[in-house]
Chains A and B, each alone.
Chain A
Amino acid sequence: MLRMLIRRLFLGAVTVAIVSLIIFSGVELLPGDACTAFLEREAKGKLLENCREAQGLNRPAIERYVEWAASAVQGDLGVSANGQKSISELVGDRLKNSLLLAACSLALGVPLSIFLGVVTGLWRDRPIDLTLSTLAIFAMTIPEFVSATVLILLFSIWLGWLPGIVLTPAHAPLSEFFPEILLPVLVLTMVMTAHILRMVRSSVIEVMAGDYVQMATLKGVPHWRIVFRHALPNALLPAINVVALTIAWLLGGVVVIEVVFNYPGLGRMMIDSISDRDLPVVQAIALIVATVYVGVNLSADLLTMIANPRLRTMHMRRK
């Protein structure tokens, strides 16, 4: 068991390393360099030279990669393109805010969606299933910015219940983000729930139609015990993976939400730095996001292994 864990961690680290390579070489392959991108039309003469000096662009690529990667591991992500600010500082606040957004959405969305998924699976084709499934399709297919816009229209403009825009500054303590954070969380939860609900529903339906549930019925096991003791532990196994994938998607989807609501998170910072052509910052954010993604997938894998008896015992038997 421990060997599996170590092997997975190792593979995770390898993936992050590959990602960092992709990011770095991706940026390298773009025409020009960090300085010409940032300075654009003013990229000439002394200005350009100084910038390159500050960024260390005169050294060979491999050296720069190693230095970047090494310091990143230690928490130092370099300086922004204008050479003035430490990226780690800039990113710290933003990351915290985005994590708050993600955490709130997950805390609300995951239990809700699993619950609804089970309900629609058990009562399939009944009114509650038809209603929820239809709503789920809508929530899933409509782009987040559309849902966000519609919800703002509804809750902020027409009903006036919730603020439609976030005005709290980035460095403010987390508690100050309420109640502005509610609408963004609502939108994210909506989309997340739709995906997880559909998946859980089909898994529940499949398991309830399966052989061992039929056997338990014929064994005289009371219906609700079958659901909770026999069916759900099996039906919810794939849910772990879907939740992980959803978290991964969140990391991207959160960008649009942050822009729509003006939320001071990592996503908006990414957009801003791309617009400003501040490549070192973009690079750093990409690395952070990718690491979080890999970490989440790793946890999902391990959780699945623990929960699924087949996988737990597989490596112990010599087949």
Chain B
Amino acid sequence: MTTPIIDVKDISVGFTAKSGATLPILRNIDLTVSEGESVGIVGESGSGKSTLALAAMGFLKRGLRLLDGSVAFRGKDMFSLTRTELEKIRGGEIALIPQNSGQSLTPTMRIGAQLIEALRLHSSVPASEHVTKAIELLGQVRLPDPKAILSRFPHELSGGQQQRVAVAMALAGEPHALLLDEPTTGLDVTTQAHILELLRDIAHERNMAMVYVSHDLGAIARVCDRVVVMYAGEVVLEGTTRQVLKNPAHPYARGLLASIPRLADHHLPLALDGRPPVPGGVAAGCSFVDRCALVKHRCRVERPGLAALPDGELARCFYADKTAEVSLAGLGVVPVELESRGTPALQLDALSISYHQPGLLNKLLGRAETRVATVDDIDITVCRGETLGLVGESGSGKSTILKSVAGLLPPAGGKMTVAGGKTLAPVVDNRPPDHLRSIQLIFQNPDDSLNPRQTIAEILEQPLRLYFGLTGQDLYDRSVEILNRVRLGGHYLDRLPSQLSGGEKQRVAIARAFAADPELVLCDEVTSALDVSVQAAVLDLLNELKEKHGTTYIFVSHDLAVVKVLSDRVAVLYQGRLCEIGPSNQVYASPSHPYTEVLLGAVLEPDPDTAPTLSADDIVELSPPARGCPFQRRCPRKIGSICDSETPPWHRLDSGHAIRCHHKIDDLAAAQVVAVVE
């Protein structure tokens, strides 16, 4: 048994609070990584995973300090080295690929300069060959036209390109170990899949040890051999990827896995109630007591140690073996399907939206704008009681469409109609009160969508007073009732948003929307900013509200599994144009539009036995093409010039499923069956 390359022994890291007490961020962590091994560190916000990864490099953020234990890298104690010694090791023997490369690359230095700096510091390549080597590195991370990129500045690159540059920079020193801190957060689904494949290949080719920190179990499944699950600053479960993901032996890990929506599911993911304890909030006993289904008296008084299980896993739970008995399957709620009645709740005809305002000069001269519209040619009908999902990546226009329906962004062309055949005025200012009340919008980021200076009571007061004229006691009673509906107690009324967690804030935002008794609720990536376990609770809530009130939803998300589970019908958008629309189980199955096929192929399931299919290239599109099919530049099934010049026709299949492609449906179906088989 060779010495591990990274050996973290019983470390505890903490900070001194204003009150003077020492609060821990990490408690008694042991972690070993052998050469060539890939270990995943999984946890949600507040678990301490990033702190642990950075500690492996001997680095602690300002304000934190090492309370106990040691970190050894290749036998050297990282916390007792001098600064010069650390500078040699960091970047040279162990390198970091950061979370947000856009912010981690120095804005005033060109890419080439930053790469060459890494080469100069840590590689043995002679100065005269630095440029050649830099180009080679960029090629290894599969960046097109590396020579041009050398002279660019970081802000000129897209998110995916920046991340690849970060990988190249990390490889420059030919390190023995790589640390990756959520390297694919914020990237599109397809980009994410590409980068992960790249990382996987690199790790295998060079036999590098890898520590991969993430909250995304799908990514971990793809890349890691072993997994460590963290909760509230502790390791709660450790084992091989297969063991942890297929049959987790800790209640938290089990809950976490159950709360991830999967493409094959027909039910909603299982919500995990409550939230993780704050640093220093665990007095005695297990940190998971408040949320555990198996909790017994012993758990509250005694802190469980990390015990070995017969199959080699390590679990911090007294009842780990019982956990295995709790089944993961079939516990979630099946989303309600309402019978649609009457006229459609919303109809969009040939809707076209443009962010670009004609310049003053052009307006004066009456010149027509030749810019291509951001969103174009949208024909969608949403029936009452239905949930329509809108999927697409960045630039797909899905949020833009919601904004127009909400009346915040007037469309450039087309018509919007609501129930009863009435036309929906393009801007809020021109809408009658009834329309204003019946269409409500929920935003992505709850930190931003609630006024920080208003109490929850005031936030809820606004729609209640505006639409129903409630005051005084009536207002209060109704506010409490609405809060209860979103499973928050009346005592939340006099709190400020800053006192609530992310999940609670989003529930308040939902409560605010439902306070208006709306007919149509627009959800703009409402779960994307939340932790996975919290996400499940919000989805559950949305489903319950729909069941009670018969609300129609338009649900926008980039997460395909979430959309599938919640939606009755799904529309797939690319660069602001519709590609495919239909009942969700049909859209997600074959035959599909080529873009849908690419999207579905790129999804990472938290299952080590699955692998994504990467068919389209990872190109960034700046704007939609002026003519022809929007997917023409990336389509792996492109026919030829017809795709560039002519708008593809709609093929309508049964039950409202429609695909827009120049291919014949049968051809697509046949080709896609072949692909699956392969």
Contact = CB atoms under 8 A, between A and B. Distances in A.
Question: Do chains A and B directly touch (beta carbons under 8 Å) in the complex?
Answer: yes
Interface of A: 209-212, 214-223, 229-230, 233-234, 308-310, 313, 317-318
Contacts of B289: none
B104 A211 contact: yes
B90 A215 contact: no
B624 to A, nearest CB: 14
A219 B95 CA distance: 7
A220 B62 contact: no
Contacts of B104: 211-212, 214-215
Given A211-B98, A215-B96, A313-B156, A220 B88 contact: yes
A215 B153 contact: no
A215 B57 CA distance: 12
B142 to A, nearest CB: 22
Contacts of B90: 217-220
Nearest to A219: B91
Interface stretch (B116-124, B250-258, B504-512): B116-124
Interface in B576-606: none
Contacts of A214: 104
- Ranked nearest first, the 6 interchain pairs of A and B with the lowest CB-CB distance are A220-B91, A220-B90, A215-B104, A211-B103, A219-B91, A233-B108
A306 to B, nearest CB: 12
A317 B169 CA distance: 26
B103 A212 contact: yes
A313 B107 CA distance: 12
B156 A212 contact: no
B646 to A, nearest CB: 26
A218 B109 contact: no
A230 B153 contact: no
Given A211-B103, A234-B107, A220 B86 contact: yes
Interface in B31-62: 54, 57, 59, 62
Given A218-B57, A218-B59, A218-B90, A230 B109 contact: yes
B87 interface: yes
A215 B99 CA distance: 10
Contacts of A209: 62
A221 B54 CA distance: 16
Interface in B151-182: 153, 155-156, 169, 173
B236 to A, nearest CB: 27
Identify which of A210, A215, A222, A313 gathers the most chain B CB atoms within 10 Å of its CB: A215
Interface residues of B, number: 34
Identify which of A216, A310, A318 gathers the most chain B CB atoms within 10 Å of its CB: A216
A212 B106 contact: yes
Contacts of B92: 220
Nearest to B86: A220
Contacts of B108: 230, 233-234, 308-309
B669 to A, nearest CB: 40
Contacts of A219: 90-91, 95-96, 117-118, 121, 169
A234 B154 CA distance: 14
Contacts of A210: 103
B118 A212 contact: no
Contacts of B57: 218
Contact of B100 (A211, A220, A221, A310): A211
A221 B84 CA distance: 10
B105 A221 contact: no
B72 to A, nearest CB: 18
Contacts of B86: 220
Nearest to B173: A220
B89 interface: yes
Nearest to A225: B117
A221 B117 contact: yes
Given A220-B90, A309-B153, A215 B59 contact: no
14 contacts: A211-B100, A212-B105, A214-B104, A218-B57, A219-B96, A219-B118, A220-B86, A220-B89, A221-B117, A229-B109, A230-B106, A230-B108, A309-B155, A313-B156
Identify which of A209, A214, A219 gathers the most chain B CB atoms within 10 Å of its CB: A219
A225 to B, nearest CB: 8
Contacts of A215: 96, 98, 104-106
